[in-house]
Amino acid sequence: MMGIKQGFLPVTKAEMDALGWDQPDFIYVSGDAYVDHPSFANAVITRVLTAAGYRVGIIAQPDWQTAEPFKVLGAPRYGFFIGAGNLDSMVAHYTAAKKPRKQDLYSPGGVAGKRPDRAAIVYSNRVREAFPGIPIIIGGIEASLRRFAHYDYWQDKVRRSVLFDSRADLLSYGMGEISIVEIADALASGCPVSRLKNIRGTCYITNSLENIQKDYLMLPSFEEVSTDKPAYADATRISFYEQDAVRGKILVQAHGNRFLVQNPPAMPLQGDALDAVYELPYVRRAHPMYDEEGGIPALLEVQFSITSSRGCFGSCNFCSLAFHQGRTVTARSHESIIKEATLLKDLPGFKGYIHDVGGPTANFRQPACKKQLSAGVCPDKRCLYPSPCKALIADHRDYRELLKKLRELPFVKKVFIRSGIRFDYLLADTNEGFFHDLVKHHISGQLKVAPEHISDKVLAAMGKPANHVYEAFRQKYKKINEHLGKEQYLVPYLMSGHPGSTLEEAIQLAEYLRREKIRPEQVQDFYPTPGSVSTAMYYTGQDPFTKQPVYVPKGEDKAMQRALLQSFLPENRKLVLQALKKAGREDLIGNGPHCLIPFKPSDTGGKNNDKRKNSGRQSRITENQGRTEKRSSRTKGKGSQSRSGSHHRRG
């Protein structure tokens, strides 16, 4: 009853009875705990359905061992919506090294194990067991990124589309607000779920292609992509090109004698429609049933943050945001964002600090060029890689004005930007006003950015700008800080083990960290998650766009590359020593200023290193990289942070 009084949707039969409901219209099953905040998928989808006039109940993190917990609210009138959570459940459970995580930040008290592996499949099959014949629609990040046959890192094989293994009727991919209301309206009107074949942003299974539009594209079949790696690369390339709401075509992929059909993406929400989603009556806190367990840790990160935009035209290869949200950026109005900021001041714990105003990339506030909303994004080229497109509109004036309005609100002390700045886009803007505002008003001691690597070869495999672009940004950042009389630092996000990185490139990165006195407390080891281009590289060993071979570090090689980024840790010494010997870089073993690890008499083959203790090896990093500003002792241990679940990456 407490939850009902505070505006939450019902999670028990008693709460439904208190509302006078005989049954819900729809039930949403969530792999995350129930947090009614617009950063949580379960809150957005259920609020959108409620705003459309439907009665929605929520079953959050049910015990999946039997079908009984899925019956707690009875049978819904029209159907079930199922989402595994804000992260793929395998990413939520396991590190990039496939080790179980100690925490699940989307569960009460951060306790791990509250959801099953491959939650979308397990939940859907349990609902099918509990209520045979009822319509089931799966969605969210897990279903969205696994909608085609996909490489599964944890099993090291290609799996079928999740729609087959889940036995659901439909799959809603992308952000979902438009498609789920269309589905709900159709079911409520009496239309059988088997007839819902033409809704944008959805996938379905069919036995025949006779009734679909004839201009569809056929992807290599599941049987082909699971046995032929070049075919998998082809499927990745085609599906990447067609993920556009304006010009994208229907995609079909055979699985045996049946077919997965993906309808074109839904049009991205913009203007009043996007504002409306974020202005729904969210309680903006976790359900009170979790209070005794310590609440939901993931809420702390976003509770006082504001989402200002969607979509990302940055299209980094290791990030699947473009495959999920799309490459067309749309943004909320200033009025809507200020309205949300005003709500924050009345929340418990708000002290005048807005923690973030951004999206997948904070400084993207409009489509990359004028034609994208009418003609779609270019299929075979990118907006920023390898260099900014001539048609790119690099303009921060709108974002700058928005931040100024927020800063001037009487209850706001400071507005931070934490969701990632795309520095190549920032440099492309000839007006430096936003850069100065960023340094002056929106940083507290340090700015986190994502150069990812210092090797141009690796950066090319990542779809990131060459290293000289980051160096230019770094110098400009330093110059502006000096002009403003501020002592602020850069904290670079760096990644190990990405396709294209050999031990040589990993050692270059380790030398860079040593030279710049950066000691990252945590490192981002490349994580092959479903839906990313880099995952296709990892599995196939080739670039799906150029079809050129790409070196892929795996196993011990990948572990050595990760250890090199933290060569200063005693527990990593054995792997670092092994890496340096394998690469023929024993000159980096010793006591000289250029060495990565100290020499020990037990280091076989390293007996000559002591002679070089005062010399070391000249860095392989090119001279035009210069040297960064010296890190103060306060920045020690504040380097690259863990960013597991790269499909949620920002910046």
pLDDT, one tens digit per residue, over 2-35 is: 434 479 999 999 999 999 999 999 999 999 999 9
pLDDT at position 86, please? 96
Number of domains in the chain: 2
Mean of pLDDT over the chain: 91
Q: Which two tokens stand for residue 547?
A: 């079809």
pLDDT at position 302, please? 95
Listed residues 154, 169, 202: the one ending a domain: 202
In sequence order, what are the beta bridge partners of 585? none
Residues 6+ apart with CB under 8 A from 582: 503, 560
Residue with tokens 């055979």: 254
In sequence order, what are the beta bridge partners of 26? 56, 79
More confident residue, 375 or 605: 375
Question: Measured at the alpha carbon of residue 446, what is the angle toward residues 441 and 448, in degrees to the nearest 5?
Answer: 105
Residue 575 carries which DSSP code? Answer: H
96/524 Cα distance (integer angstroms): 9
476/592 Cα distance (integer angstroms): 32
Q: Which two tokens stand for residue 565?
A: 């980024």
Residue with tokens 């839906």: 531
Taking Cα atoms as reference points, which of 608, 620, 609, 607 lies closest to residue 507? 620
Do the domain assignments include residue 543? Answer: yes
pLDDT at position 303, please? 96
562/65 Cα distance (integer angstroms): 37
Q: Tell me the whole-structure pTM to 2 decimals.
A: 0.91
Listed residues 202, 219, 247: the one ending a domain: 202
177/52 Cα distance (integer angstroms): 11
pLDDT band at 211 (very low <50, low <70, confident <90, very high): confident
Listed residues 185, 202, 219: the one ending a domain: 202
DSSP secondary structure string, 87-113?
A: S-HHHHHB-TTSPBPSB-TTSGGGBS-
- Under DSSP, is residue 407 helix (H, G, I), strand (E, B) or coil? helix
Residues 6+ apart with CB under 8 A from 583: 503, 504, 507
Model pLDDT for residues 398-455, shown as the tens digit of each residue: 999 999 999 999 999 999 999 889 999 999 999 999 999 999 999 989 999 999 999 9
Task: State the average pLDDT over residues 139-144.
Answer: 97
Angle between helical axes of 271-278 and 334-344 (0-180°, round to 10):
10
Task: State the average pLDDT over residues 518-526.
Answer: 90
Do the domain assignments include residue 146? Answer: yes
pLDDT at position 602, please? 82
Q: Is the torsion defined by CA of 293, 297, 300, 303 positive or negative? A: negative
Is the CB of residue 82 less than 8 Å from the CB of residue 127?
A: yes
Do the domain assignments include residue 287? Answer: no
| β pairing state of 157-159 and 150-152 | antiparallel
Lowest mean pLDDT among 370-374, 547-551, 554-558: 370-374
Task: State the average pLDDT over residues 53-67.
Answer: 98
Task: State the average pLDDT over residues 296-316.
Answer: 95
Is the CB of residue 496 less than 8 Å from the CB of residue 614?
A: no
In sequence order, what are the beta bridge partners of 491? 448
386 preceded by a cis bond (ω within 30 of 0)? yes
pLDDT at position 604, please? 64
Taking Cα atoms as reference points, which of 574, 585, 577 lies closest to residue 505? 585
Q: Which two tokens stand for residue 620?
A: 């392989």
Q: Which two tokens stand for residue 472?
A: 């230019």
321/358 Cα distance (integer angstroms): 14
pLDDT at position 601, please? 87
Taking Cα atoms as reference points, which of 93, 88, 78, 189 lies closest to residue 134? 78
Cα 634 to Cα 115, 133, 441, 445, 451: the distances in Å are 38, 60, 21, 10, 21
224 has pLDDT over 70? yes
- Under DSSP, is residue 59 helix (H, G, I), strand (E, B) or coil? strand
Lowest mean pLDDT among 2-11, 168-177, 483-492: 2-11
The continuous run of DSSP H or E covering 424 comes out as helix 423-428
615/613 Cα distance (integer angstroms): 6
Task: State the average pLDDT over residues 326-334.
Answer: 96
Model pLDDT for residues 84-98, shown as the tens digit of each residue: 999 999 999 999 999
Range of the domain at 494: 476-651
Model pLDDT for residues 610-648, shown as the tens digit of each residue: 444 433 433 333 333 333 333 333 333 333 323 333 333
Is the CB of residue 241 less than 8 Å from the CB of residue 380?
A: yes
With 0-12 / 13-18 / 19 or more C-beta atoms within 10 angstroms meaning exposed / middle / buried, residue 623 is exposed
Cα 341 to Cα 344, 353, 409: the distances in Å are 5, 10, 9
Do the domain assignments include residue 121? Answer: yes
DSSP secondary structure string, 209-261?
A: -TTS-TT-EEEPPHHHHTT-HHHHHHHHHHHHHT--TTTPPPEEEEETTEEEE
- Under DSSP, is residue 334 helix (H, G, I), strand (E, B) or coil? helix
Do the domain assignments include residue 331? Answer: no
Angle between helical axes of 229-241 and 533-540 (0-180°, round to 10):
170
Do the domain assignments include residue 564? Answer: yes
Is the CB of residue 359 less than 8 Å from the CB of residue 310?
A: yes
Model pLDDT for residues 364-414, shown as the tens digit of each residue: 999 999 999 899 999 988 999 999 999 999 999 999 999 999 999 999 999
Q: How far apart are the first and last CA of the chain?
A: 41
Task: State the average pLDDT over residues 592-614.
Answer: 69
Is the CB of residue 528 less than 8 Å from the CB of residue 539?
A: yes
Tell me which amino acid residue 534 is: S
pLDDT band at 649 (very low <50, low <70, confident <90, very high): very low
Do the domain assignments include residue 451? Answer: no
Is the CB of residue 576 less than 8 Å from the CB of residue 509?
A: no
Q: Is the torsion defined by CA of 383, 316, 375, 270 positive or negative? A: negative
Taking Cα atoms as reference points, which of 309, 433, 430, 318 lies closest to residue 364? 309
pLDDT at position 522, please? 79
306/91 Cα distance (integer angstroms): 25
Q: 369 — phi, psi (to 5°)? A: -150, 170
Residue with tokens 């479903």: 530
Alpha helices in 524-647 (DSSP H): 533-540, 555-564, 573-582
Q: Residue 273, Cβ neighbours under 10 Å: how many?
A: 13
Is the CB of residue 496 less than 8 Å from the CB of residue 524?
A: yes
- Encode 138-166: b = buried (16+ Cβ within 10 Å), e = exposed: bbbbbbbbbbbbbbbbeeeebbbbbbbbb
Q: Residue 340, Cβ neighbours under 10 Å: how many?
A: 22
Cα 188 to Cα 135, 142, 215: the distances in Å are 11, 26, 31
pLDDT at position 315, please? 87
Do the domain assignments include residue 608? Answer: yes
